[in-house]
Amino acid sequence: MSQVLDDLVELLTLEAIEENLFRGRSQDLGFRQLFGGQVLGQSLSAASQTVEEDRHVHSLHGYFLRPGDAGLPVVYQVDRVRDGGSFSTRRVTAIQKGKPIFTCSASFQYDEEGFEHQASMPQIVGPENLPSELELLTGRAHLIPEAMHDKFLRPKPIQFRPVTSEDPYDPKPGEPVKYVWFRADGSLSDVQALHRYMLAYASDFNLLTTSLRPHGKTVWQRDMQVASLDHSLWFHNDLRTDDWLLYAMDSPWAGNSRGFSRGSIFNRAGQLVASVSQEGLIRHRKDWT
Q: Residue 137: its pLDDT value, please?
A: 75
Determine the length of the chain: 289
To the query of whether residue 189 is one of the catalytic residues in this protein, the response is: no
For the question of residue 228 being annotated catalytic, the response is yes
| Pairing between β-strand 230-235 and β-strand 55-64 as defined by DSSP bridges | antiparallel
> Chunked in runs of 10, what are the mean pLDDT values of the chain (289 residues)?
92 98 93 91 99 98 98 98 98 99 99 97 97 80 62 82 85 95 97 98 97 92 92 99 99 98 99 99 81
Q: Which residue in 228, 251, 264, 275 is the catalytic one?
A: 228
Cα atoms found within 13 Å of the Cα of residue 43, Cβ hemisphere only:
32
Reply yes or no on whether 204 is catalytic: yes
| Confidence at residue 180, expressed as pLDDT on a 0 to 100 scale | 98
Say which of 26, 132, 159, 278 is annotated catalytic. Answer: 278
Q: Give the CA diameter of the chain.
A: 58
pTM of structure: 0.95
Side-chain half-sphere exposure of 86, counting CA atoms within 13 A: 4
| pLDDT at residue 136, rounded to an integer | 79
Residues 6+ apart with CB under 8 A from 117: none
Q: Say what the pLDDT of residue 165 is.
A: 81
241 φ, ψ (degrees, to nearest 5): -85, 0
Helices vs. strands in the chain: H and E counts, helices first: 5, 13
pLDDT value of residue 205? 95
Task: Write down all domains in the chain, each with its CATH number in brackets.
Answer: 3-111+128-284 (2.40.160.210)
Q: What is the pLDDT of residue 134?
A: 82
Residue 192, amino acid = Q
Single out the catalytic residue among 204, 242, 251, 264: 204
